[in-house]
Amino acid sequence: MGRAQFEYDEVGNTFYYVVVSFYAVVLVPLTYYLWPALPKHKVIIDKSGCQCEGCLKKRGRKEAVKPWEHTKRAIKFIVLVVLWIIFIFLAMKVSQIEHEHVEYDPYKILGLDQGADVTEVKKKYRELSKTHHPDRGGDAQMFDNIAKAYQALTDDEARENWEKYGNPDGPKATTFGIALPKWIVSERYGVWVLAFYGFLFMLILPGAVWWWWSNSIKYSADKVLLETTRLYICFLQKTPSMDINRTIMVLAGSFEFWKRFNSEIVERESDDIEVPRLMKELRNLHENKKEPPFNHPWSIKARSLLHAYLSRVYITSKFLETDQEYMIGRSVSLIEEFVRIMIQMIFGLPHQRAPTFETFENSLRLFPMFVQALWPKDSTLMQLPHLTEQNIPFLRRKRVISCADLANLNEFKRRALLNTVTDEQYEDIVNVLMMMPRLEVETEIEVQGEDDKHTVTIGSVVTVKVTLRRSPLLDHKKREQELAEGPKIVEKEEKDEEESQQNKRKVWEKQPKKKTKKGGKGGNKPPAKKKPAATTSAEAEKATDGPASNHVSPKAKSKKSEEKKPLLENEEDSGSVSDTENSEEEDFSNVEAEKSDEESVSDFEPNQNNEEDDEWDEEGIIKKESLLESEPTTHHPVHCPYYPKDKYEWWYLYLVDRKSRRLASMVVPCKTLDKEKTVEIKFSAPPQKGSCYFILHVRSDSYMDCDYTQDLKIEVQPAKEAPPVKYEDTEEEGEERAHSDASSQYTEDSASDADD
């Protein structure tokens, strides 16, 4: 058998197979990548929404982007069509290539039918030899093929080779064809091909990898510059206590706003004129600060634009307005990085100069500030459209402080207070109130994985299950009902309010003296019958301080949730939810519910354990399924006309130790709340036994008056002692013990016989 041989494609037909194969490998993923992106970049403009000035300008910016989006789609579509036309052309070219390989058939060469006998073969060979023999003017190559075919059909050895190898001469050398044209390795073009390979794999590929790595190494996982992260760490250690202005100053010092680190930043000569003009209209800029990088021109410019945005100062320069939109669009991600670094420092550096809790709260306040373009001192009613600073004093005199107060009013009374706006503008205000959220917060404390999961012991991992139920701040059905009832009820309510205000004692008036009884000296003393009531309430509080107070029965939970609703509806500025009110009634209801639960547990204890195991298994299944599912984070859009991007409601939950005013848990984000969502907050129980008090904070990153708080009380019990471990006896120890028992029994029997 001969050696293997390699042959290049002389004609270049097989090269088309390689081209089509690699072309398809690149074209199919490229089409999948480009084609689904077409509807994703579609700009949806809802012209039926709010018609305030800010929303109209925001829609105008979207419409300005729309023509370029159409152009990009058209370019992508044309490129894909051209690429697929080239692919179809190459595929047709390959299908038309003729196969040169023909199977060797001696019968076909001699012109005989399959299976002809030897006599016919010899007769046909003689006839063909007369015409194709070279001595008689025939073709030598043709005669050679005829002779080989004759030998294959008449010679036994040649016939055996033909049947085995398809060739009468026996096995030949294996040939491998390389699907590349022969001119690639020729002396004329070989140097150029080698240069192309070197340029592609030694310059282009390493250069692309270096460019990608040098850019990606500058950023963290959240697409924030690592230099910015180091800046935040430096100033959080330098000034652990920061107010709002100091936090904004550090935020404006982010290196994302410096052209040296961000090529998207544009530095213009006109900034030297326009920025100082803008600074004259702002306060508390601290432009004379000598601390780097806050004294650099780019940082002063960024700080001025951020202050102008929060103050809602109109910017006349189009260039500065473009820069402001870019900086505000990056601000939310920078605040998230700032908060993340702060939390790591609070829990990672407890004994060093960790940031204070006030700094943490101020940084969380930045989220709704930048979304709504307001300072903390501004009225939260400025979040509503068509309301200006001139409307705020009048609404405050009418005891309308927050958006919740305005939503709780009767429809006709609300319209009477907002008599300075038109009907269309009033509908915009009502629609925004319907977009704003109202939360009902419900908590449950447990220790997962324990038999008695409602008993908290020292050092255990406590899980606080927070159930958030969202409803609109202004109920649409309630408004329709008020419209159907008419304005008569409103007049009656106003009269009742006027009468109650007239009966109220003024601040400057003295309190009227109570009439004393004629016969007694101690008439001002309270009656003695009230003392037992106070003692019983104190005893009830002591009774609820036990470990059973952590358990929440279904009845107590429903009653607790019913008591939270009026608290949520009547809150003013912070909208906080607290369980401190009506605590005695809750304690008594909890004690009674727990007694009934204990009695029922004693009767049905085995079934109860089985049900708890089933519940634990079901909870585990639900958790696994929830981990695999990805919920959308775009449930409820936020009315934010000044914010350049679309925003959706997100929430942040965390626990605070009420005594030390320190974070007790990590901050848990909730970005998938639609109507109801349960969030778990885990933290370690305190190392001392006794009553511990915490405050649950539920903060909105979109609205300034939608923060909720709730008091939590946890009774920490001492850790249970582990039962002693009992080891089974080994076989040798068992045999020794049996032998000793037998010997002792024998001695006792012998002693009794001796006595007899």
Residue 551 has pLDDT above 50, yes or no: no
Q: What is the pLDDT of residues 248-265, one digit of tens each?
A: 999 999 999 999 999 999
Contact 637, 44 (CB under 8 A): no
678 HSE (CA, 13 A, CB side): 10
Strand partners, 457: 717
Q: Is the separation of the CB atoms in 449 and 424 below 8 Å?
A: no
- Say which residue, 577 or 737, is predicted with more confidence: 737
pLDDT of 329 reads 93
Helix (H) or strand (E) holding 470: strand 461-472
CB of 173 within 8 A of CB of 4? yes
Do 222-376 and 106-165 fall under one CATH topology?
no
Query: pLDDT above 90 covers what percent of the chain?
Result: 41
Backbone angles phi, psi at 289, to 5 degrees: -65, 130
Top mean pLDDT of 70-84, 457-471, 550-564 is at 457-471
Q: Which pLDDT score, from 0 to 100, does residue 96 have?
A: 77
Q: What is the dihedral of CA 54, 58, 59, 61, to 10 degrees?
A: 140
Taking domain 222-376, whether its CATH number is 1.20.1440.120 is answered by no
Question: Which tens digits make up the pLDDT trace of 333-385?
Answer: 999 999 999 999 998 876 567 899 999 999 999 999 999 999 999 999 999 99
**Confidence tier at 628 by pLDDT (50, 70, 90):** very low
User: Which runs of E-coded beta strand occur in 349-452?
Assistant: 437-446
- Structure confidence at residue 492 (pLDDT): 55
pLDDT digits (tens, 9 = 90+) for 666-685: 999 999 999 999 999 999 99
pLDDT score of 249? 96
Predicted confidence (pLDDT) at residue 508 exceeds the cutoff of 70: no
Q: Both tokens of residue 647?
A: 């925003």
* 177 vs 10: CA distance, rounded Å: 10
Output the CA–CA distances (angstroms, integers) from residue 617 to 99, 453, 467, 538, 621, in the order listed: 66, 14, 20, 41, 6
User: What's the rounded Cα separation, in Å, for the pair 383 and 433?
Assistant: 10
Residue 13 pLDDT: 64
Side chain identity at 547, as an amino acid letter? Answer: P
pLDDT bracket for residue 407 (50, 70, 90):
very high
pLDDT band at 570 (very low <50, low <70, confident <90, very high): very low
What confidence tens digit (pLDDT) does each residue in 287-329 have? 888 899 999 999 999 999 999 999 999 999 999 999 999 999 9
pLDDT of residue 594: 43
Q: Using CB atoms within 10 A of its CB, is residue 223 exposed (0-12), middle (13-18) or buried (19+)?
A: exposed
Topology adopted by domain 441-493+544-720:
Immunoglobulin-like (2.60.40)
* Gap between the Cα atoms of 197 and 489, Å rounded: 87
Task: Judge residue 367's burial from the number of C-beta atoms within 10 Å of its C-beta, 0-12 exposed, 13-18 middle, 19 or more buried.
Answer: buried
Position 527 pLDDT exceeds 90: no
Residue positions counted in the chain = 756
In this predicted model, what pLDDT tens digit does every residue of 468-490 receive, in sequence order? 999 999 998 989 888 888 886 55
Q: Using the structure block, give the residue that is written with the tokens 């990548």.
A: 33
Pairing state between β 437-446 and 461-472: antiparallel
Q: Any idea which residue has 């030899």 for tokens? A: 129
Higher-pLDDT residue of 596, 176: 176
Examine the pLDDT at 75 and tell me if it is beyond 90: no
pLDDT digits (tens, 9 = 90+) for 587-601: 434 434 444 444 433
Residue 523 has pLDDT above 60, yes or no: no
Token pair of 612 as six digits: 């708890």
For helices 476-485 and 488-503, the axis angle rounded to 10 degrees is: 90
d(CA 551, CA 557): 10
> What are the domain boundaries of the chain?
5-95, 106-165, 186-216, 222-376, 441-493+544-720
The percent of residues above 70 in pLDDT, for the chain, comes to: 69
Q: pLDDT band for 602, please (50, 70, 90 cuts).
A: very low
**pLDDT reading at 216 higher than 70:** yes
For residue 5 the two structure tokens come to: 């041989």
Nearest-angstrom CA–CA distance, 93 and 144: 36
- Say which CATH topology domain 106-165 has: Helix Hairpins (1.10.287)
Residue 59 has pLDDT above 90, yes or no: no
Nearest Cα to 387, choosing from 432, 347, 328? 432
Between 37 and 410, the more confident residue is: 410
Highest mean pLDDT out of 15-24, 96-105, 464-473: 464-473
Confidence of residue 102 (pLDDT cuts 50, 70, 90): low
Contact 303, 278 (CB under 8 A): no
Residue of higher predicted confidence among 189 and 250: 250
625, pLDDT greater than 90: no
Residue type, 585: E
Q: What is the DSSP string of 38-84?
A: HHHT-----TTS--SHHHHHHHHHHHHHHHHHHHHHHHHHHHHHHHH
Instruction: List 570's β-bridge partners, or say none.
Output: none
Strands 676-684, 175-181: pairing kind = unpaired
pLDDT tens-digit profile of 134-163?
877 777 888 888 888 887 778 777 777 777
Supply the pLDDT for residue 617. Answer: 46
